[in-house]
Structure 1
Amino acid sequence: MTTDQPLAEIAPAPGAPVPGAPAAEAAAVPAPRPGAAAEPARRGFLAKALGVTALLSAAGSGLGLLRDLLLARYFGANQGTDAFLVAWTVPETAAPLLIEDAMAFLMVPAFSLALVLREERPHGPDPVRQLTRSTLPWLLLALCTLSAGAALGAPQLVELLAPGLADPQLAVTCTRITALAILPFGVAGYLASALRALHAFTAPAVIYVMYNLGILALLLSGHRLLGVRSAAIGVAVGSALMAGVLLLPFARRLRSGGRRRGLSRGAARRLVLIPLALLPVAAFTLTRQAQVFIERYLGSGLPPGTISHLNYAAKVSQLAMTSAILIVTVTFPVVARAMAAGDFEAARDRVEKDLGQAAALVLLGTAFLMACAPALVSLLFQRGAFGPADTSATAAVIRVYSFGLPAQAMIGVMVRPYFCVRPVVRRADTPRAEGDRITWPDWYPVGAMLLGLAVTVAVGVGATPHYGALGLAAGNAAGITTTAALLMRGLVLRGVALRLRRVLGGQARLLAAAVAAAALGWLAARSAAAPLTAGLFGGTTVLLAFAALGALLGAAEVRGPVLGLLARARRPRPVPSPAAEGKSPHGR
């Protein structure tokens, strides 16, 4: 099944002002044109794209969970896994920066603008190819430099991240291996962003399947001989598979522009790089990832195994966010195209809808984690070197982490419009002085993240001496919630003025349903002794209670699907005719 979709015709005029944006930004954003922000022509395209992305991403998440299960089974929670998880900081930082967030923030709007130019000017050199030639060589050079720098500076990096680590040499070795993943990560992120902007979602959704298959292959075959180093080698191998699976689809889409003639070489320069646009995006992604650095730094001074408990808890907690992030992944090109066309009302409507849908999914998952965390951790991890004490510690951290999951999902939805206004390229016919200027609204997400990070540090430093890992998890939840509140209020700076009363009212209804569902699910889980039974009882109770209470409270994201299911269940089944059963009307 494919989700490739021809783009609707878009042809905005340059130089028009942007509603709600500073005057300095007006020339950098094209003006709206009737029909400019139209949805893709094919009905149900977003639903189909979401379905394909969800299926493949669920497969990748399942393999990732299996990867963590094998890590727990083979190596438990000790100084060896702590050393690997410090090295894991490299791919954990590189993935958001080069695949999930920063690269998408930069390249999806850039390719969207290139597609606008491709549609409005069908003759002459292809703007998509011109964009690729202008950006990809510089990206490869930067990635090679970063990879080499991380490998050579591994001892200093480990000392900076975890000065109290019991086995720093093992962490240095693993860090040098995982540093090799930076180059293919960046290539995969670039190609995936381009393909999504071109409305091709199948190949980008496969990348984490390939990544985790590479890690699993090395874990299964090398854990006895190489120990935890096998996981580090698997990271490097899996990252190469990620980039490899995208090369052919990208080449095919690039060729689809065809050979174009009719313009001189000078006129072909339709897109101009804005190097300074990289800075706010990279700074935001790094400051967001800095929460992990803080946890590793403070956790390295706690008893051995603490970093491992935090890691396992984070991996399980993030499963609740998978569906919410999938929504944003599919709808981001729609928001980018709407803002590139100057249709800020359409962008606002899409962001508000995404906030409601993401909140419904993540709050349902949060309620399940609150109710069934001990049963879930015991069922998943408690075997081999992972004992009951590890289960208890990890489950407690999950419950504290869960307080920040709704804010994590909201940030994933809200931060994208901030970076759509100024992509990494501008049209060549916009004024350079205005088009290349980076103003303070470009830095607003970074400031919001820094304030949230300050809250994380303050709570973590104050609570860790008394509560250990739970204090670190509480700091994480408090900091990310602060950032989400600031981003929601500041969207007006980008012309996306959310109707806060409507948005917050919907969030409150969903939150009330989730709190009640978690309480009922916890009571149901306590009534069962076996982890599997407790998880099934508790999970079923949470699902039914959330659906019923959400519908009763009027949460549109819950009520609509529930009423649809009820209507379908009540619909009478058609009685087959005698001919349909292969019989004549006379019974012969």
Structure 2
Amino acid sequence: MTMVSRVLGLVRDMVIAAAFGAGTGADAFFVAFKIPNFLRRLFAEGAFNQAFVPVLAEYQTKVTKADIKRLVDSVAGALGLSLLLVTLLAMLGAHYITWIFAPGFNADPQKFALAVEMLRITFPYLLLISLTAFSGSILNAYKQFAVPAFTPVWLNVCMICTALWLAPQMQTPVMALAWGVLIAGAVQFTFQLPFLYRLGLLPVPRPDFQHEGVRRILKLMLPALFGVSVSQINLLLDTVLASFLQTGSVSWLYFSDRLSELPLGVFGIAIATVILPSLSRQHASRSQEDFARTLDWAIFMILLIGIPASLALVMLAEPLLISLFHYGALTEHDVAMSAMSLRAYGLGLLAFMLIKVLAPGFYARQDTRTPVKIGIWAMVANMVMNLLLIWPLAHAGLALATSLSAFMNAGCLAWYLHRDGLLHAQVGWAKRTVQLLVANGGLVVMIWLVVPDKVVWFAWHGMERAWHLAALVVAGVVLYAALLLATGLRPRHLRAAA
């Protein structure tokens, strides 16, 4: 389901690139969309999810269904009321928020005014999608992963429809994208309600900040705001600094970030979503060895997918961007600039994915302080590297700084888990290492030998690009799988590890 959502998200970005390119309107929309989307990842899918799921998992093992329902109602009321106030204040202060998050837009009054207007439309998405994420957390805790994973499909459907059919009817066509975001928030939230009703946990909001569970969640949330979402904060800082660069920089970073988000979302976030409830239950039942085995399995799965995905993004930056986005308003110059930042993000993809599966190792134990400490170190390092790299590499320097700080973050998370005795190599890692080296080495050689120069990709029409890219993907997957099988890896090994 996550795969369906991410692939359709790629189609959405192809439509946006063809319709609006990387100009003033696109830059303004990406800022107006990124601000509530950033806060969604920070609060709803980040700090709130990591604080709420362990508490809910503990309630599942220790109290009655009626007590769980009271917790759900109290959290729904507290979360909904808080977000409603934040949304109203943000809509009133959209001018100031835009100035904070995209100060460079002040030099272009038209771009700044457009971003402010769209932010007022997109910001209520934070309220709707956060309640959606809250509902999804409940479903995940009861092992109903498919519905929350499919829910983002509706965002992509709504934005594709508004870009194709609403935009031509509007005086400012790019405004249609902002309305698409708002409509999608309402559709996504409504979609999950019948499934909660079936569980008997459809929330009836009752704000109760004194409820024991709510107080624990709030206590865990506050420090988790930094710990789990440092990579998102770093990406937002990239947008802030990119607003001072030439027009198009925000869009170039967006398109390259979206391509790196595809494997991150399909595999990294999916695996993290699955393991958090398991880790929480294992911690609650004091199964330390099971906890370590679950983390070990998750890390191997990330390496199995993350390494070839990272290599592909770095080595196939231009072919990917040309095949997916070089239509309509997006120019060859835009492709070249986006390729620079895509390679930089591709280098850090493995670290981004590892953070997603290592952070739950702390939050499942309701330890929020350690990831906060590590997150602050990584954020400071990112800002220093941003300032050092933005001058020689412009927008690509921002992407590279984000990747380097992500490796620092992942490394520190792994070291602390190892120190606590919760992360140690299980039997078989020597063989796994050989398998990964052989399979990825073969993949690199194949790409190096068979991929045509970017000039050829530019010359092909859309169907030729699609056919060659699809053939390349299939050949790469087949070769990678064949080399893994030849070195002894079998599907049962993955299932046994889980």
TM-score normalised according to structure 2 size:
0.87
**Residue pair 1:163, 1:297 contacting (<8 A) in 2 also:** yes
Change in Cα spacing, 1:460 to 1:538, as seen in structure 2 (3 Å) is: farther
1:283 to 226, 230, 243: 226
Give the residue type in structure 1 aligned to 2:335.
T
Structure 2 segments unaligned to the other structure (5+ residues): 203-210
Measured against aligned partners, the alpha-carbon deviations of 1:105-141 in whole angstroms (never above 9, x if no partner) come to 12221221121124xxx6xx72211211332211111
Answer with 501-510 or 151-160: which moved more. 501-510
Alignment check: 8 A CA contact 1:373 1:395 kept: yes
Deviation at 1:338, TM superposition (A): 0.8
Distance 1:405 1:507, change over 3 A: farther
Return the letter of the residue paired with 1:273.
Answer: R
How many Å separate the matches in 2 of 1:332 and 1:287?
A: 18
CA–CA separation in structure 1 for the residues paired with 2:27 and 2:101? 12
> CA separation in 2, counterparts of 1:255 and 1:284?
29
CA pair 339-72 structure 1, distance change in 2 beyond 3 A: same
User: Corresponding residue for 1:273?
Assistant: 215
Q: Identical aligned pairs, as a percentage? A: 24
Residues of 2 paired with 1:169 and 1:63: CA distance?
Answer: 30
Structure 1 counterpart of 2:417: 491
SS at match of 2:62: helix
Letter of the 1:78 counterpart: G
Taking a change above 3 Å as real, the CA distance of residues 360 and 161 of structure 1, as seen in their structure-2 partners, is same
Task: Give, in whole Å, the separation in 1 of the partners of 2:31 and 2:120.
Answer: 12
Q: Which residue of 1 aligns with 2:94?
A: 154
- What is the identity, as a one-letter code, of the residue corresponding to 2:448? W
| 1:280 positional shift | 1.6
* Residue identity in the other structure for 1:547: A
Aligned with residue 312 of structure 1, among 232, 255, 276: 255
Distance in 2 of aligned mates of 1:325 and 1:197: 15
Q: Assess if the C-alpha contact under 8 Å between 1:98 and 1:190 holds in 2.
A: no
Q: Which of 155, 164, 181 is the matching residue for 2:125?
A: 181
Distance 1:539 1:212, change over 3 A: closer
2:469 aligned partner: 535
Please report how far the alpha carbon of residue 505 of structure 1 lies from its aligned counterpart in structure 2 after TM superposition: 8.2
Give the C-alpha shift of residue 552 in structure 1: 5.8
Cα distance in structure 2, aligned partners of 1:446 and 1:466: 31
8 A Cα contact 1:178 1:232, kept in partner: yes
Tell which deviates more after alignment, 84-93 or 409-418.
84-93
In 2, the alpha carbon distance for the partners of 1:459 and 1:506 equals 34
* Paired AA for residue 198 in structure 1: Y
Amino acid at match of 1:539: V
Q: 1:508 to 1:86 in 2, by over 3 A?
A: farther
How many Å apart are 1:487 and its aligned residue?
0.4
Richer in helix (by share): 2
* Change over 3 Å in CA distance of 1:493–1:108 after alignment to 2: farther
1:467 aligns with 2:393: yes
1:522 aligns with 2:468: no
**Which residue number corresponds to residue 297 of structure 1?**
240
Q: Is the 8 A contact 2:167 2:173 kept in 1?
A: yes
Structure 1 position 248 matched with structure 2 position 190? no
Judge conservation of contact 1:404–1:481 (CA < 8 Å) in 2.
yes
Partner Cα separation in structure 2 for residue 178 and residue 418 of structure 1: 33
Q: Secondary structure at the match of 1:227?
A: coil
- From the superposition, tell whether residues 136 and 494 of structure 1 become closer, same or farther in structure 2 (CA, over 3 Å): farther
Max radius of gyration: which structure?
1
Which deviates more, 155-164 or 410-419? 155-164
Matches within 5 A, 1:47-62: 56-62=1-7
Post-superposition offset of 1:514:
2.7
State the 4+ residue runs in structure 1 displaced beyond 6 angstroms.
500-505
TM-score, normalised via structure 1 length: 0.74
Q: How far apart, CA to CA, are the structure 2 residues paired with 1:466 and 1:62?
A: 34
Relative distance call for 1:502 and 1:443 in structure 2 (3 A) is farther
Aligned to 2:306: 362
Amino acid at match of 1:361: I
Contact 2:125/2:182 (8 A) holds in 1? yes
Query: Contact between 1:521 and 1:541, CA under 8 Å: does it hold in 2?
Result: no
Q: 2:183 aligns with which of 233, 237, 260?
A: 237
Give the deviation of 1:144 after TM superposition: 0.5
- Cα distance in 2 for partners of 1:66, 1:333 equals 31
Q: Which one-letter code corresponds to 2:395 in the other structure?
A: A
Specify whether residues 445 and 77 from structure 1 end up closer, same or farther in structure 2 by C-alpha distance, changes over 3 A only. Answer: same
Secondary structure of residue in 1 paired with 2:144 = coil
Deviates more, 1:412-421 or 1:485-494: 485-494
- The corresponding residue for 2:11 is 66
Question: What pairs with 1:123-522 in structure 2 (closer than 5 Å)?
Answer: 126-165=66-105, 166=108, 167-224=111-168, 225=170, 226-254=172-200, 273-274=215-216, 275-321=218-264, 322-422=266-366, 442-492=368-418, 496-499=422-425, 506=432, 510=436, 513-514=439-440, 516-522=442-448
User: Following the alignment from structure 1 to structure 2, what is the Cα–Cα distance between the partners of residues 506 and 399?
Assistant: 26
Q: Does 1:95 align with 2:37?
A: no
- 1:299-342 superposed Cα distances (whole Å, 9 cap, x missing partner): 11211101101100110111122123222222321111111211
1:398: how far off? 1.3
Q: Flag structure 1 segments of 5+ consecutive residues without an equivalent.
A: 1-55, 257-268, 423-440, 565-588
Superposed CA offset, 1:449-488 (max 9, x none): 2222222222221121111122111111101111000000
Q: Which amino acid aligns with 1:133?
A: D
Helix, strand or coil at the partner of 2:337: helix
Q: Which amino acid aligns with 1:452?
A: A
Letter in 1 for 2:263: A
* Structure 1 residues 317 and 273: CA distance shift in structure 2, 3 A: same
2:205 corresponds in structure 1 to none
Asked if structure 1 preserves the Cα contact closer than 8 Å seen for 2:72 and 2:201, the reply is: no
Cα distance, 1:253 vs. partner? 0.7
Contact 1:314–1:398 under 8 Å retained in 2: yes
1:114 corresponds, among 54, 59, 65, to 59
Compute the displacement of 1:288 (Å). 3.2
Cα offset, 1:354, TM superposition:
0.7
Structure 1: which amino acid aligns with 2:260?
S
Partner of 2:20: 75
Post-superposition Cα deviations, 1:501-526, rounded to whole Å, max 9, x if no partner, equal: 97698468636643552343133112
2:481 alignment partner, one of 547, 552, 562: 547
CA contact 1:211–1:235 (8 Å) conserved in 2: yes
Shift of 1:273: 3.1
